[in-house]
Structure 1
Amino acid sequence: MNATATVRVVELTEPAELYRRYDGEITAQPAYIELDLRNGTLLASYNAEIGNAVPFSVHHGFERRWDVSQREHLTLSVPTADAANAFMKRIAPLADRILADWEEYWDGNNHVARLGEDALAAEEAIEALVDVPWDEADLVAVWDVDGATNGDEVTEYGITADTTDERLDEIEEEIRVSMAGAGEGDVVVLDGVDTYLGGLRDELKAEAAEAEDSGPTPDCFSISLDRTGFDDGTNWAEEATEQWIAEAERLGFGIRVESEEVPNPERQVAIVRRDDETLWVINIHGDDTLRAEVIDGAPSA
């Protein structure tokens, strides 16, 4: 007990410092404000323990904790640093009263803290303030992957197989800033977006590695059909096939014609085989571009 004690408020410095969700847990860890009777400090933090475990110093009353989390259905929200700092300053006079009216005594088993009458009244007043719901603007806004992303991040942010971790961090920050204006709260946490962005890059790496292992395929090039010398009697499909095969052979592909009977004679000119026995159909597009496409489900020898 110290009749002249003045609490020292330890302020938070990071906007979302009270938010912490462990892998495998559905909700974030509860946040609390704590008055340490022995040290005379008032601070805010989150419970590092999963479940309801608390240190002996809390159990024996030397550290007084008040849960400042806000619960709704299966969600748990925590205040921003600014909101928590302002709240600690607000209750500091009440904390002073507690510091001035407590004692340590032996209860027969442990040394514990015992509050005097005024300290109990001050603590009751703090608990009443803690029970007042936070404004939404005072809570950390948490966005998961489904809410914060649109599936077009590879194109939108130019993600490639070579994108660095630093660039992914920058992209995550750009997304976080954009989400700050989507709700009432300005302090935003992205839950799982870092893993999502890394996964996009890893998929591109895997695709690049697979393409490198398998080598180029006949769909990697196209040619423009040269209709010079064509007349009404020209078999344009046969001529188109010869032009495409000539380019394929120039590029080193072993190609042979499998059939000139195609499902769509107006848009297809021939079915061909590559050395690996994969079947391809040569398509002609509206701009007279010839490109081969693998036939889905075609048997391979």
Structure 2
Amino acid sequence: MTVTTVQLSYCVNTEELYRHYDQQAEPQPVFVELDLEDGVLYASYDPEVGNARPAEVGNGRTRRYCLTGKDYSGERVIPTAEGANRLLERIAPLAQRVLDGASIEWNGHNRVGVLDEDAQDAEETIKALVEDADLGEDGAIELWDMDSIGEAWTAEEAGITARTSDEELERIEARLLEEFRADQEQPTAVIRGLGEHLRAVRDELNGPVDVFWSVVRGAQPVAAVRPEQAGVSVPEHVRVWAAGHGVTGKESDPVLVVAPQEDAEDLPGEVAWEVGVLDRDEAERVAVLLAAH
């Protein structure tokens, strides 16, 4: 028999058992495991997609008990840290019976876990407790989708800029989730896809910026800048188009100017205009010059 005492390994973070991989319809299953060799009893999510199991589970040296409960909407129930810890404490006396009646034996091919009759009875009780576990108040994650929370956060509301780092995004995600939990009075809420949404917001800020290229006569308008003033490269097709409207590239009339499409104004002396894009750095240099006008 194994000679050891159950060692509880508690969960710490509210949503640590929640993992939802890309391209998967549901979050990863959650299980409770008991290691017959060191006596550690703990809860974890399954890191594998599909039915793969580690050798120690397949050989019974580690006993795995899967949570199979569903919520009112048919979603897989994911325990919070508090709910999982309650379950571990409820299981612990039964897990001790399993350990007391367990041995590790060589079967001619592998070292396998073997249970005596009382240990088997205790294990069956554990399975019944775990399969549709009573996790108690605030014991399960409340899952929300981005499309179910109402209007999503904009870059300004979230405090995201084009220069926001991945580490800063993680802190912003944590802050927004805490604010959402407080607003909804759901301390165990998790918003599926929130991190992806925030990264998309940041990436959009780093994407190309829509602009208007314009040919103007007379004084340079204050709502646009000449590309050479901002160090902006002019695409060849825009050069050809501008030349067709009399722009020679010299200090002469008319001239080529550029301005962001957002908050664009009618330009005095405009002869023609064309839509285009600038990369983010070029657009920011244009914006700096416009702000100084």
Q: Under a length normalisation based on structure 2, what TM-score does the superposition of the two structures give?
A: 0.66
Helix, strand or coil for the counterpart of 1:276? Answer: strand
> Where in structure 2 are there 5+ consecutive unaligned residues?
224-252, 257-265, 276-293
Q: Distance in 2 between matches of 1:52 and 1:7?
A: 27
Closer/same/farther in 2, CA of residues 56 and 253 from structure 1, 3 Å limit = same
Highest RCO, 1 vs 2 (Cα 8 Å, sep ≥ 6):
2
Instruction: State the partner residue of 2:52.
Output: 53
Helix, strand or coil for the counterpart of 2:70? Answer: strand
Structure 1 runs (4+) greater than 6 angstroms displaced: 215-220, 252-255
Report if the CA contact (8 A) 1:253-1:274 is conserved.
no
Of structures 1 and 2, the larger Rg is shown by 1
Report if the CA contact (8 A) 2:18-2:28 is conserved.
yes
Letter in 2 for 1:203: E
Q: Distance in 1 between matches of 2:13 and 2:273?
A: 61
Instruction: State the partner residue of 1:31.
Output: 30
Instruction: State the partner residue of 1:139.
Output: 140
Matched, 1:63 2:59: no
Shift of residue 206 of structure 1? 2.8
Closer/same/farther in 2, CA of residues 19 and 157 from structure 1, 3 Å limit = closer
Report if the CA contact (8 A) 2:215-2:270 is conserved.
no
Helix, strand or coil for the counterpart of 1:126? Answer: helix
How far does the alpha carbon of each residue in 1:20-60 deviate from its partner, in whole angstroms, 9 at most, with x for none?
11111111111111111111111111111111111121112
Report if the CA contact (8 A) 1:68-1:79 is conserved.
no
Shift of residue 90 of structure 1? 1.9
Instruction: State the partner residue of 1:17.
Output: 16
Report if the CA contact (8 A) 2:14-2:81 is conserved.
yes
Helix, strand or coil for the counterpart of 1:180? Answer: helix
> Which shifted more, 20-29 or 176-185?
176-185
Instruction: State the partner residue of 1:196.
Output: 197
Identity %: 35
Closer/same/farther in 2, CA of residues 179 and 168 from structure 1, 3 Å limit = same
Letter in 2 for 1:146: D
Closer/same/farther in 2, CA of residues 41 and 219 from structure 1, 3 Å limit = farther
Helix, strand or coil for the counterpart of 1:206? Answer: coil
> Following superposition of structure 1 onto structure 2, how do residues 47-196 of structure 1 map, counting pairs within 5 Å?
47-72=46-71, 75-107=75-107, 109-130=109-130, 131-135=132-136, 137-148=138-149, 150-181=151-182, 185-196=186-197
Shift of residue 152 of structure 1? 5.0
How far does the alpha carbon of each residue in 1:109-141 deviate from its partner, in whole angstroms, 9 at most, with x for none?
443222111111211221221134444621122
Closer/same/farther in 2, CA of residues 165 and 110 from structure 1, 3 Å limit = closer
Report if the CA contact (8 A) 2:214-2:270 is conserved.
no
Helix, strand or coil for the counterpart of 2:21? Answer: coil
Q: Distance in 1 between matches of 2:222 and 2:146?
A: 34
Shift of residue 63 of structure 1? 0.7
Instruction: State the partner residue of 2:272.
Output: 276
Closer/same/farther in 2, CA of residues 165 and 64 from structure 1, 3 Å limit = closer
Letter in 2 for 1:126: I
Instruction: State the partner residue of 1:239.
Output: none
Report if the CA contact (8 A) 1:254-1:274 is conserved.
no
> Where in structure 1 are there 5+ consecutive unaligned residues?
222-251, 256-269, 280-301
How far does the alpha carbon of each residue in 1:132-181 deviate from its partner, in whole angstroms, 9 at most, with x for none?
44446211223322234614523434544444545533432232012224
Shift of residue 108 of structure 1? 5.0
CA-atom RMSD in angstroms: 3.6
Shift of residue 195 of structure 1? 2.1
How far does the alpha carbon of each residue in 1:81-126 deviate from its partner, in whole angstroms, 9 at most, with x for none?
1221222122111111111112233445443222111111211221
Report if the CA contact (8 A) 2:146-2:152 is conserved.
no
Letter in 2 for 1:37: L
Q: Under a length normalisation based on structure 1, what TM-score does the superposition of the two structures give?
A: 0.64
Closer/same/farther in 2, CA of residues 219 and 125 from structure 1, 3 Å limit = farther
Letter in 2 for 1:177: E
